[in-house]
Structure 1
Amino acid sequence: MTQTAVGLGASDGGSSLAAGRLVPEGVDTSHGVILYLDAIEVSFDGFKALNQLSLTLAPGELRCIIGPNGAGKTTMMDVITGKTRPDAGSAFFGQTIDLTRLSEPEIATAGIGRKFQKPTVFEMLDVFTNIELALKAPRSVWASLRARLNGETRDRIDGLLAQIGLLDDRHVLAGTLSHGKKQWLEIGMLLAQDPQLLLLDEPVAGMTDAETERTAELFRSLAGKHTLMVVEHDMKFVGSIADQVTVLHEGRVLAEGSLAKVQADERVIEVYLGR
């Protein structure tokens, strides 16, 4: 993996300025990899949360991450999004974007979006306005005050609302939505930012069966257009969406492959699934 391109210096034709640094425009996936983690290590007060963790994702893949509590799933996502700096190892977005050298806002600008387990929406605003505020656009106070929606922007928002199944709820206050619909709204807010990689933490926790099924349909529709990494404990849901499953244990990859393959792995049965 060539380490290039992200750092301080004068702008060139292929970069844009973000928070005083250069973030390359576009993600180079010419080698067939959009996320590359190699020998990542993270320790907290002597506890090794990630231990030589190595993992790659292909563009457009839908990968599910499973494993027992404390396996390192959240810490891995923290490293990818810049919340936690690894003690050792490499983390690249595409071929050239070194995630270990960027801040959280810079990583979001580069094209990585993250959704936490608990939905975070603007509850006193309607659904349409939540998506409007999330759109990728200048966010200075002056720009926000002067902004006027044009027809193209309205169409885009309606398209996103239709995609997440909330078009009929466009004028409903977000705070009155069901838990599942709030989850979909936050996913729509992420999609408004045009991410290439989406990190989703237990997205169907607390959902009804119908909401879970609708979420599976949504994720399947997003795969290919976006790359998805989904951390989840619901094995039925995992089986309905995953291209490939990675099992983490003690901060490293224990097993990888189809759900059927990892479910048959004796090590996975022992440490996570049980008999």
Structure 2
Amino acid sequence: MSELLARAASGDRESAPVGYARVLGEGVDTSHGPILYLDDITVSFDGFRALNKLTLTIDVGELRCIIGPNGAGKTTMMDVITGKTRPDSGTAFFGQTIDLTRLSEPEIATAGIGRKFQKPTVFEPLSVFENLELAMKTDKRARHSLRAKLNSEARDRIAEMLARINLFDSAARLAGELSHGQKQWLEIGMLLMQEPQLLLLDEPVAGMTDHETAKTAELFVSLAGSHSLVVVEHDMDFVERLGGKVTVLHEGSVLAEGPLAEVQQDERVIEVYLGR
């Protein structure tokens, strides 16, 4: 694998397989077509089909919400996209060139896919500013890190991120002192400092106050266009705030897709998820 990646990094596109063609340092090709394409993805665990020929397309710059009952396959879908779970069959492409089924989790993250889990994970003994500094996309080798000093451009980037995630006035506070919602914002900011093109967000407003939820919706809407976002969520009010297309999963497949108002009227969705 290391030899193949080295070929891709050196520019030897003909000898490197398509799955590795643009992984190291170049980003994903989004000049045309979707940023994410899943086709007939099937995943089984001990005879249980968590995903059943799942097909899903996410466009460049799109903000998509994924909803559905527990066990519908939402987490397994994100596990496949990030390389945590290998599908039994089917294909998964990031952009036009990156075959996700052939890459490891770190390689997929390097390619430009970032994932946020439901529970926030931040460095609580460090300040908010320091958390963002550590997350910044840069050379993380020990020698470089020990000698590194932030230049004005890097400080400006962090300041802009602090403002964007509503934590500008909390830059010097320890991350452990933040509220649950603020920790969620900080982790989203840390993810954004890595400059991902596709963000996978798992129930990002769980446990937030109404005010924090509204602010988070504003943040996600502002990110759409410059980033592609896939948001797994159960809070229908939050999903409504985000707008855009909604995909309903059930038993590992797409049950319905369209604007929220439309899928809420779908009898199948009412029966298996929303209730009457």
Measured against the shorter chain, the TM-score band is over 0.9
In the TM superposition, what is the alpha-carbon distance from 1:237 to its structure 2 partner? Answer: 0.3
Q: How big is each residue's C-alpha offset from its partner over 1:112-164, in whole Å with a ceiling of 9 and x where there is no partner?
A: 00000000000000000000000011112222111111111111110111111
Contact map agreement 2:33 2:96 (CA 8 A) in 1: no
Aligned to 2:143: 142
Indicate which of 11, 14, 22 corresponds to 1:13.
Answer: 11
Q: Distance in 1 between matches of 2:27 and 2:125?
A: 35
Aligned to 2:243: 242
In the TM superposition, what is the alpha-carbon distance from 1:28 to its structure 2 partner? Answer: 1.7
Secondary structure of residue in 1 paired with 2:7: coil
Q: Distance in 2 between matches of 1:9 and 1:180?
A: 41
Q: How big is each residue's C-alpha offset from its partner over 1:210-246, in whole Å with a ceiling of 9 and x where there is no partner?
A: 0000000001100111000000000000011031000
Q: Distance in 1 between matches of 2:5 and 2:234?
A: 41
Aligned to 2:103: 102
Q: How many residues align?
A: 266
Aligned to 1:54: 55
**After the TM superposition, which of the residue ranges 101-110 and 135-144 deviates more from structure 2?**
135-144
Instruction: State how 1:98-247 maps to structure 2 within 5 Å.
Output: 98-247=99-248
Q: Which structure shows the higher helix fraction?
A: 2
Q: Distance in 2 between matches of 1:263 and 1:65?
A: 13
Q: Distance in 2 between matches of 1:8 and 1:168?
A: 42
In structure 1, stretches of 5+ residues that fail to align are 1-5
Question: One-letter code of the match for 1:240?
Answer: R
Aligned to 2:93: 92
Question: One-letter code of the match for 2:230?
Answer: M
Q: Distance in 1 between matches of 2:40 and 2:233?
A: 23
In the TM superposition, what is the alpha-carbon distance from 1:51 to its structure 2 partner? Answer: 0.2
Secondary structure of residue in 2 paired with 1:10: helix
Question: One-letter code of the match for 2:57?
Answer: T
TM-score by length of 1: 0.93
Superposed CA RMSD: 1.6
Contact map agreement 1:92 1:98 (CA 8 A) in 2: yes
1:78 matches 2:79: yes
Contact map agreement 1:7 1:101 (CA 8 A) in 2: no
Secondary structure of residue in 2 paired with 1:86: coil
**After the TM superposition, which of the residue ranges 41-50 and 135-144 deviates more from structure 2?**
135-144
Q: Distance in 1 between matches of 2:265 and 2:275?
A: 11
Aligned to 2:38: 37
In the TM superposition, what is the alpha-carbon distance from 1:29 to its structure 2 partner? Answer: 2.3
Q: Distance in 2 between matches of 1:118 and 1:197?
A: 19
Identical residues among aligned pairs (%): 74
Q: Distance in 2 between matches of 1:52 and 1:65?
A: 17
Contact map agreement 1:80 1:99 (CA 8 A) in 2: yes
Secondary structure of residue in 2 paired with 1:91: strand
Question: One-letter code of the match for 1:223?
Answer: A
Q: How big is each residue's C-alpha offset from its partner over 1:44-80, in whole Å with a ceiling of 9 and x where there is no partner?
A: 1111000000000000000000000000000000000
Contact map agreement 1:121 1:185 (CA 8 A) in 2: yes
Relative distance call for 1:14 and 1:182 in structure 2 (3 A) is farther
Q: Distance in 2 between matches of 1:72 and 1:31?
A: 28
Contact map agreement 2:83 2:100 (CA 8 A) in 1: yes
In the TM superposition, what is the alpha-carbon distance from 1:13 to its structure 2 partner? Answer: 3.1
Q: Distance in 2 between matches of 1:86 and 1:160?
A: 36
Q: Distance in 2 between matches of 1:163 and 1:14?
A: 39
Aligned to 1:3: none
In the TM superposition, what is the alpha-carbon distance from 1:31 to its structure 2 partner? Answer: 3.1
In the TM superposition, what is the alpha-carbon distance from 1:199 to its structure 2 partner? Answer: 0.2
In the TM superposition, what is the alpha-carbon distance from 1:9 to its structure 2 partner? Answer: 5.8
Relative distance call for 1:268 and 1:14 in structure 2 (3 A) is farther
